[in-house]
Every structure is written in C-alpha cells, then in structure tokens.
Chains A and B, each alone.
Chain A
Amino acid sequence: MGGPDRTLTVINHQTGTTREIRPVKTVQALLRHLELTPETVLVIQGEALLCDDDPLDQNSPVEIRPVISGGSLP
C-alpha cells in the first residue's frame, strides 16, 4: 500500500474524466467509492479484466469502462 500522499489514478470512460483518489484495496471498494454497481461497468487494470473481489495494484491506473448503451431521447 502507498503512503499517506499516494493516490490511485482512475480513468473513467463513463464520465470522460481522469482523477486521483485515495487508494482503495479492492474493486468492490472502488465501485462503492464511485457509487457504481458491478453490473454496469468493466474494471480494467493494465491488460487485465478484474472481478469484484480482486485486489487493486496501487501503482497502476484503473480504467472504468461503461457497458450500458443505447436508447433514444424521450
């Protein structure tokens, strides 16, 4: 784990933003922090697709990719 100043880089394709957050240990904790449900996104680190209970590598950016698409304006 990183020290008090360490951050985790999160690239969120859903919002089109990249942000630094306080490090979290698992995918589940990250999704809770971002208020996302596992069914709606892929969580990717490096070349790997991660499961909910997988640990996060604190030194590598995490990619959040939305899976929901489609629809029309009301």
Chain B
Amino acid sequence: MKCRACAQKAVIRLPSHNSAFCPACFDRFVLSQTARAIEDHHMLTPEDHILVAVSGGKDSLALWEILSRLNYRTTGFHLDLGIGEYSAESRGHVEAFASRYNLPLVVESLRESVNGSVTDIAHATRRPACSGCGLAKRYFFNRAALATGATVLATGHNLDDEASRLFGNLLHWHDEYLPKNRPDLPSISGLSKKVKPLVRLTEKEMASYAFLRKIPYVLKECPHSTDAKQLLYKKLLNEVESASPGTKHAFLFGYLDRVDRLYPMTPEEDPEDSPSGKCERCGEISWTPVCSFCRMKEKVAKDLERDGLAPLPEPAP
C-alpha cells in the first residue's frame, strides 16, 4: 500500500479518511489534526501556559510532545497513584520523557496525600476504584494548575475516549453529563480551562504516532480497569467502525456540532455550577464547605481506624 500523499510505502491505513500514509506524511497529519482541534474549539492561544496531565500512557505523552512541537509553553503533571508496578512503570516513563525533552514536570503522590491506597479509597467510599481515582485526579489537576500558574489544563483524551463516553452517556441517558461531553470546558471561578487537543485522533492513530516518534509508554493496563464498561463501548464502536469507516467521527462530531445549541455554556450564570468558596480543610476552590477530596480522605482515615488496618496493597497488574 502506498502513501496517498507522496506514494512512498504506507505504514498506516486510515479507512475513515479513505487514506494511507508513510511516516513523514502521517506525522504531518497528526500535527495538523491537533492544530485543527485547537483552532476549531478555541482551545489555546500562543500566550497560554499549559499544564499537561501525563499518566505515562501513549496519549498523554504524545500530547505533551505534540504541544511542545507546536511551540506551546507546557509543564507536565503526573499523579503517582501508588498502584504497585503499574504506577512505578508509568512514573518512570513520564520522568524519562521530561528528562529527554528537558521539559518541566511536577509529580505528586496520591498514596502519600491520602495515606491509603486506591483500594483503600474504593473500600472506604463503597465506590469503584476508578471513581475515587477520578475525583483525586480532578482535585490534583486543578490544584497543580493553580500552583504552577497554568492557564489551561490539557488531557490526552482521544476520539475513541470521547465517542465511547458519549455512547455510554446516551445509552444510560445521563443527561447531566452531556453538557460536559466536549473537548473544551471554560475556566470557572478560578479553576483553569480544560481542553482535549487529541479529540480528532483515534487510539490507533495515537499508538502509531507514539511508536513512530519512539516515545516509550506504559503498555500495561491499570489493574483496576479490567472488564470496564468503557472498554466494551470502545469495542462495540470499533466493530461499527470496521463495517462503516468514519462512523465514530460522525457520531462524536455530529454531537459536537450540536452541543452549543443543546447545552449553551453559561457556567457563571448558574450558581450550582460554580464553586462557592474555599475548602475549610485544604483551602482549595470548592463547591461545598469541605471539598469532595477532603471528605474522601477523611472517609479513608476513619475506615482504616475503625478496622484497625494498615493501608491495603494494590492488586498485581
């Protein structure tokens, strides 16, 4: 198969674009798709300082590299989840990447902050591990953005992430989540703006990009994410995509074309959507007198104290 742009040997076929590219033309394709997402959704300006949330996976590390190549000012932020080998490997990739490209990086430890593991959080809150993990990430990301003076927080969510999230929200009619199912969320009450510049690119495209750019990343999945619903939704959407190329893109971008009309963004006008003040415990911006993260932290402490237990070890990957 030949590259549709230059007739060299292709290394990736993109049926949804009726195209195939060689490494050099695919590289240009990825950069242009990212630049287009940034422009179409008014995500970034040249003056922005961007905090890039990096997990150690292909998407976030590739995003950090792409934003640097596009000459944006970036700082990486990694939250060490303390999940055994999986977290050690993830953190290793992030630190090696920052060192290789000489980029500033901030690392924090969830385990040290909560004084318990992700498993302890799940046990104490009676919620899936990923629920507490997500809450903690939002807390740390917002806090790190404020601490570093970043104007925007960027995450590596790709087209598959966003399409599968929309699919899940529609299957269960989670109307309350739909307004936030978009790649650009404005700054509210001092919390930084949030953007997803990889929204036009698929998982396959991002994995190919990371491979071709020789970006090492963690291949292991988080041990808590096995048998996840989102993985099922991705699988189903990929089956539809195989039979009808371009469907994932049409599904997500058809929604994004309508989202402003369906859910106009006026967060400051809605007091329920804006944080009311500062958390009494940690001093961070909060919707309630004690923020969700501090309430979760207190539940973990009480749970461990009641059971007289030491923090639980994490499951093996």
Contact = CB atoms under 8 A, between A and B. Distances in A.
Contacts of B12: 49, 51
B3 to A, nearest CB: 10
A10 to B, nearest CB: 16
Interface in B1-51: 1, 10-13, 20, 23
Interface centre among A71, A73, A74 (most CB of B within 10 A): A71
A31 to B, nearest CB: 11
Number of chain B interface residues as a range: 35 or more
A74 B20 CA distance: 37
A40 interface: yes
B143 to A, nearest CB: 22
Contacts of B278: none
A13 interface: yes
B227 interface: yes
Interface centre among A13, A67, A70 (most CB of B within 10 A): A70
Contacts of A38: 13, 204, 242
A73 B129 contact: yes
A49 B212 CA distance: 8
B229 interface: yes
Contacts of A51: 1, 10-13, 20
Interface string A47-74: 0111111100000000001111111111
A68 B203 contact: yes
A49 B13 CA distance: 11
A29 interface: no
Nearest to B130: A72
- The secondary structure that dominates the A interface is loop
Contacts of A66: 219
A40 to B, nearest CB: 6
Contact of A50 (B11, B202, B235): B11
A49 B219 CA distance: 16
A43 to B, nearest CB: 10
Interface residues of A, number: 24
Contact of A44 (B206, B211, B239): B211
B219 A65 contact: yes
A37 B240 CA distance: 11
B57 A69 contact: yes
Interface in B94-138: 128-131, 133-134
Contact of A73 (B13, B130, B202, B219): B130
A67 B221 contact: no
A49 B1 contact: no
A39 interface: yes
Contacts of B203: 39-40, 67-69
A74 B1 CA distance: 41
A34 interface: no
B229 A72 contact: yes
Given A51-B11, A65-B211, A70-B231, A37 B57 contact: no
Given A37-B242, A72-B130, 13 more contacts: A42-B204, A48-B11, A51-B10, A51-B20, A65-B207, A65-B219, A68-B235, A70-B231, A72-B128, A73-B128, A73-B226, A73-B228, A74-B228
14 contacts: A37-B239, A37-B242, A38-B204, A39-B204, A40-B203, A40-B238, A42-B207, A44-B211, A51-B13, A51-B20, A70-B228, A71-B231, A71-B234, A72-B228
Closest 7 CB pairs of A and B: A71-B228, A72-B130, A71-B230, A67-B207, A71-B231, A67-B203, A49-B11
